[in-house]
Structure 1
């Protein structure tokens, strides 16, 4: 059995508060196959479907430990011994660039989602790696895989970049990856997310909820309808690929960026009616809002209702102290919606907002301040 940095992998077991990370055993194959029978396990894992007994046997007999190239671990619950997932520390190849860096991967059974097992296992492997000479460990996940990204942040891995076409997906596809990393000198503490969990919130007529990957048709339609183009900054149309990218990145953006995309929905049908965008800028506690509603939902007060719902959430659930929005001076419907939602017109900035033809319009500025306690 090979070793790594003087550590013998054969029989190596790591412990945490609730979990044991141990070598795979032949008897684990049946449990692995049962876990992988749930199709939800295959949304972000490039694994065979249907997942056979032979596939499971192949996983539990991987030779990463024997070669000294990976610390492959079954994750078992301490109290019951029950298999709950998998965690791997992929070690650097000898002589490769960045020879002291490594990568962690993980999965947890659907029945145990939401219990923090992936975070706990990741922290355990990271502590082992840094304690034995690694200087950098990364985690990669599909850009839309918000749950995996959240695990990385909770385990102390900071977001670094999106690496394009660098991850293998199902069916041989090639996907963009969100890259997170920790170094040996980073604090062993969770990384704070950019935005708190949002809703959904509803007043019975309008529901506002986070944008997800499948909402790209609403983003596409809202960006390209005639009114949006009239009051927008450019005459360039948003493509389907761009709309898919924005919707796919929305969850990651909420975790790691200053931008937050929300969907305005018809509460009665659930149909997407428009969008709200939140953007942090300038002074702390100040957030700028953008919005747009599809033509078939205009004239029904959806924008004002959505803005009011958003303001209520922001002042109840966050440290936001001021919401701001602006519109072109001629956009009467947008100004009315802001006023109806309780925003106060605070001024007019001359020649600030670009028109599609290259000219500039005045901007009407509106604000809403957190009410006194």
Structure 2
């Protein structure tokens, strides 16, 4: 029978506060097929689609059992303690060599998203592995899969890097993956996200929300219109591939970096109207803002409204002490939007911003500080 570190894996059951992580059983096939019949769960899972009853039977009697029998993987059905209801899957791939890293994979029924079950299951497997001699455990997820990245952080895994072509592709080349890890020396505590989640902000005319992978056409339109190219640093237009990559990366960046990409939307239609970018830099508490609106939404005060909404959120929900932005000295519309949103003109920096022709323009600086209590 399969053993690891002297532990018999075949019948091993792990318990957490709300969940039981147990071996797969043939009777689980019906619930597995029902869960994986939901197309939403397949977005970042390299599984057959449509997922059939035969696929489910094969999994619970084959791959779901094989790792335990070989001592190479602890594959678990994740069920509620109180009801026994199957809610998902969690697996700990065990290393072949001491210098190799163990890896946790998981999926959860869409009906149970948002209740912390995935985090609890991942934390349970991590505690088991690290408590029994593992030096390092990893979680890898596709770059756009911000939900899995958030689970990794909540389970105490720190972000390390985006590795190129490290995940299996679905009918295509390998995919880039975000790598998170815990070591035996790390504290058993959640890793806070770089930025708190931003629920939609709206004043009835404009809505500001997080950028999503499907928003890449808005990023492309904002970057490639004549005005944006004229005020930009280079005359090179953004490619569709770059726009897709930036939109795909936005959710991960919000969790693990100093950057936070937001979208300005028309509240009436929901259509993307422009972008807002936040970037922490320099002294603690200082956040820089970049923005742009696509041509069909200009002249309607969208930028000013979005800046007001953003400032309220930043000062109320984050430790931001100062917001600042800049524009080229001749960019009258951008300067007007800043002052209309309450930002104060603070000065001018000579020759700071590059023009598409290689020359440099002066930059006007605007700032807004946290209101006094």
Q: Which runs of 5+ in 2 are unaligned?
A: none
Q: Which moved more, 1:281-290 or 1:314-323?
A: 314-323
User: Secondary structure of 1:171's match?
Assistant: coil
Match of 1:186 in 2: 186
Distance between the aligned counterparts of 1:248 and 1:39, measured in 2? 19
Q: Which moved more, 1:314-323 or 1:209-218?
A: 314-323
Alpha-carbon distance, 1:172 to partner: 4.4
- Written as runs of structure 1 = structure 2, the 5 A alignment for 1:114-193 is 114-193=114-193
- Written as runs of structure 1 = structure 2, the 5 A alignment for 1:86-97 is 86-94=89-97
Alpha-carbon distance, 1:9 to partner: 0.6
Match of 1:16 in 2: 16
Match of 1:98 in 2: 99
For residues 115-149 of structure 1, what are the alpha-carbon distances to aligned partners after superposition, in whole Å with 9 as ceiling and x for unaligned?
Answer: 11111111111111111111001000111111100
Q: Which moved more, 1:257-266 or 1:161-170?
A: 161-170
Distance between the aligned counterparts of 1:222 and 1:41, measured in 2? 31
Match of 2:199 in 1: 199
| Structure 1 residue ranges, 4+ long, deviating more than 6 angstroms after superposition | none
For residues 145-179 of structure 1, what are the alpha-carbon distances to aligned partners after superposition, in whole Å with 9 as ceiling and x for unaligned?
Answer: 11100000000000011111211233345221111
For residues 65-106 of structure 1, what are the alpha-carbon distances to aligned partners after superposition, in whole Å with 9 as ceiling and x for unaligned?
Answer: 001110000011000111111000001124xx723x200000
Alpha-carbon distance, 1:228 to partner: 0.8
For residues 216-268 of structure 1, what are the alpha-carbon distances to aligned partners after superposition, in whole Å with 9 as ceiling and x for unaligned?
Answer: 01101111111111111111111100000000000000000000011111111
Distance between the aligned counterparts of 1:150 and 1:285, measured in 2? 23
Match of 2:349 in 1: 349
- Written as runs of structure 1 = structure 2, the 5 A alignment for 1:214-363 is 214-363=214-363
For residues 319-363 of structure 1, what are the alpha-carbon distances to aligned partners after superposition, in whole Å with 9 as ceiling and x for unaligned?
Answer: 111100000000000000000001000011111111111111110
Distance between the aligned counterparts of 1:197 and 1:334, measured in 2? 27
Distance between the aligned counterparts of 1:83 and 1:123, measured in 2? 18
Given the two structures, how large is their TM-score scaled by the length of structure 1? 0.97
For residues 25-80 of structure 1, what are the alpha-carbon distances to aligned partners after superposition, in whole Å with 9 as ceiling and x for unaligned?
Answer: 11111110111111111111111111111111121122110011100000110001
Distance between the aligned counterparts of 1:78 and 1:40, measured in 2? 25
User: Secondary structure of 1:290's match?
Assistant: strand
Distance between the aligned counterparts of 1:124 and 1:173, measured in 2? 33
User: Secondary structure of 2:48's match?
Assistant: coil
CA RMSD of aligned residues (A): 1.0
Q: Are 1:262 and 1:276, in contact at CA under 8 Å, matched by a contact in 2?
A: yes
Q: Are 1:286 and 1:324, in contact at CA under 8 Å, matched by a contact in 2?
A: yes
